[in-house]
Every structure is written in structure tokens, then in C-alpha cells.
Homo-oligomer: A and B are copies of this chain.
Amino acid sequence: MKVLAILYNGFKAAKAEPRLLGTVENELGLRAYLESQGHEYIVTSSKEGPDSDFQKHIADTDILITTPFHPGYLTKELMAKAKNLKVCVTAGVGSDHVDLNAAVERKIQVLEVSGSNVVSVAEQVMMSILLLVRNFVPAHEQAISGNWQVSDIARNAFDLEGKVVGTLGAGRIGYRVLQRLVPFNTKELLYFDYKGLPKEAEQAVGARRVEDLKEFVSQCDVVTVNAPLHEGTKGLINKDLLQHFKPGAWLVNTARGAICNADDVAAAVKSGQLRGYAGDVWNVQPAPADHPWRSMRNPLGGGNGMTPHYSGTTLDAQTRYAEGTKQILQNYFEGKPQDPGNVIVGVGEWLPDQKCLEVLMIRCW
């Protein structure tokens, strides 16, 4: 079989650090295994446009491996050209770069390594909340630039204790965020989700469900987005919804960039309506150099906690998703069943309990 992997370039870093498995250079550690089984293995970072390796090779590829960090966008049109494609594996979590409806139609399985980086992302959320609320970035900029003016930092620095924190989505990642928030003595923990958590799960973290989205955001000092991207969440956080946020609230989004309207969020930070925005996901990746989320600042000079998309690709996470990808391939080659938690689209069907993608948010809490 022909296996095609779209990964990011690691350059020198990947040569020096073999644990950077998710790079073109280190090939998810799969070459020896795949070749020993007689398969062809193509690895590339070239993914945009008709002359890219991605579009060139997809025509006769049997198995496609992609990641959310440098996503190979598998559109309906591209899928139509992929005559041999049987399986798409996401080395990581989040398969919104694949047209899932088209995959169902064409009987292409979509699998991901669902447990591989939910903790990594939950940790990134905790870090992002703390650094926004505590106004870290302007403070660090003073430290490295030789300045010392505590009042300029302190005037916009707060404690997380006593604040209301809410997660939009209480699935595998959102629930882990709630768990990690428990000891911080927040005033309240809230969640918004299309259905409620099981009672015991809710009680274990002391979280309260708010069923109306506008009401939910209006009660939160901090909103963290932990939902998948689909038609129901695309552009959900826009100018209209932002007007219902508490003035000066903080927003963290490590889920998918397109859940937020980029210009509306940037404008809200610049005006101070949002005190800050942090996250590592962007509506286009790599983000262009002039993306408004790179330069936005609140009126007091802080409130930008952005990074490139890396939270789910720590060295610890890379080990897990490389191993998980190999396991998925092995199961496929040997005709063994896949871990149901890893199946996004089965052969020609959504999983029985998957009426909509939102189920993904909840089933593995």
C-alpha cells in the first residue's frame, strides 16, 4: 500500500532531537515498520496548491496521515481524486481538516489518536488562563528589556481565585480543565455543552451547566473554548456573542481558531472589551505574518497570549501520537478492530451514537 504523511518541517531541530517524531525528518518513526511490511511511505510538508506533494500523491494513496499542527486539508474535491484512499489517520486530536461528510459518503475511515494529547491541551489552557489573568507577558517584557515598573503590570493583574471560569465544551479536554481548576478556589465553575455531564462527573468538579450560551458567557470572567470545529461552532464567537461577555473578560481558545471570528476578537482586545485572548490555534495554519492575532494588544499593552499551534505536540505528546498512529495502522493491516474511542468516521457511517460531531466532545470525559 501507499502511505502518505503530511507533517511539518523540523529542520535542524528535528535532526538534533529524535523525539520530534511529528516532523518530516523523523517521519513519526514509521519508516522501518512500514517498509518491513512492504508498504511505500511518502512523507512531505508540501500541502498547498495543485503542485504540492499532497495533491500530487493523493491520487494513488491508500492511507493518509495528517496532523492538526500543519493540516493537510482534505476537501471533498480532493477526496474525489483520491481513488484508492481507504483510511485517514490524524496523528493527534481533531479531524476538522478532513471533510467528514464526504468521508462517510466515500466509505473512507477517519481515525485519530484520541487520548494522545488531551492532557497536553488541558495544561496549555491552564497556563493560558493564568498568564492572561496575571498579566504575565507585559511583565516578562519588562524583565528582558531592562525595565522595572511594577504599577504598569499590577494595574491589570489579578488572581484567578474568586473568578468565574466557564468552559464552552466539557468533553475530553474541557473536563480535564475543570478538574485542574478545582483547587484554585474559583468563585464558580460553569460549563456550556449540548448535553449535561453525568451527575457524578458534575459533582466531582463542582461545575454548573448553563444551557443558554449568551447567559453562559455573560457570567464568566474567563471563558475557555474546548469544543470541536464543525458547522455549529464555526464563527460562534463573533461580534454579536462578544457583546454578551462580561466587560474585560478573558478568552482562551486552544480548540480551533475558526470557532472565533479573528477580526472580531482582535477588535474586542484592542478596545478592551476583552482584557485578553490566548491560544495556539488559528483560522489558517501556518498563520500569515500579518494575522491580527499576532499584533493585537489591549489598551494597557497586554492581553496577547498567542503561540503557534504546538500545545498538542510537546515531546511527551509526540511519543503518544506516534505510537497511537502505529497501533492504528497495525490494526488496519492485521484486520483487527480499532479502539472505538479513536474512530471518527467508520466505513461509510458515523458511529451509532454520533448524530453530530458534538458527541465527540462528551463521550470520553
Measured CB to CB, the residues of A under 8 A from B are 8-11, 13-14, 16-17, 19-20, 22-23, 69-70, 119-120, 123-124, 126-127, 130-131, 134, 136-137, 139-140, 142-155, 157-162, 179-180, 182-185, 280, 285-287, 289-290, 293-295, 304-311, 313-318
A184→B136 contact, CB < 8 A: no
User: Do residues B294 and A123 form an inter-chain contact, with CB atoms below 8 A?
Assistant: no
CA distance A145 to B304 in the complex (A): 12
CA distance A145 to B308 in the complex (A): 11
13 pairs, A vs B, C-beta closer than 8 Å:
A10-B151, A140-B305, A143-B294, A144-B294, A144-B295, A144-B304, A147-B289, A148-B285, A154-B310, A154-B315, A154-B318, A179-B183, A182-B183
Shortest A143–chain B CB gap in Å is 4
Minimum Cβ distance to chain B for residue A293 (Å): 8
Cβ-defined partner of A134 (8 Å) among B14, B70, B124, B153: B124
Assess whether A70 is in contact with B17, with CB atoms less than 8 Å apart.
no
Q: Which of B126, B127, B307 contacts A153 (CB 8 A)?
A: B307
Contact between A150 and B308 (Cβ–Cβ < 8 Å)?
Answer: yes
Contact yes or no, A123 B134, CB < 8 A: yes
Q: How far is the CB of A365 from chain B (nearest CB, A)?
A: 14
Beta-carbon contact of A155 and B20 below 8 Å: yes
B140 touches A134 (CB 8 A): no
Complex Cα distance, B304 from A142, in Å, reads 13
B130 touches A126 (CB 8 A): yes
B184 touches A123 (CB 8 A): yes
Cβ B150 vs Cβ A314 within 8 A = no
What is the minimal beta-carbon distance from A132 to any residue of chain B, in angstroms? 10
Structural contact, B130 and A161, CB atoms closer than 8 A:
no
**9 tightest Cβ-Cβ pairs between the two chains A and B:** A139-B307, A10-B151, A146-B289, A127-B130, A148-B286, A143-B306, A159-B316, A13-B151, A17-B155
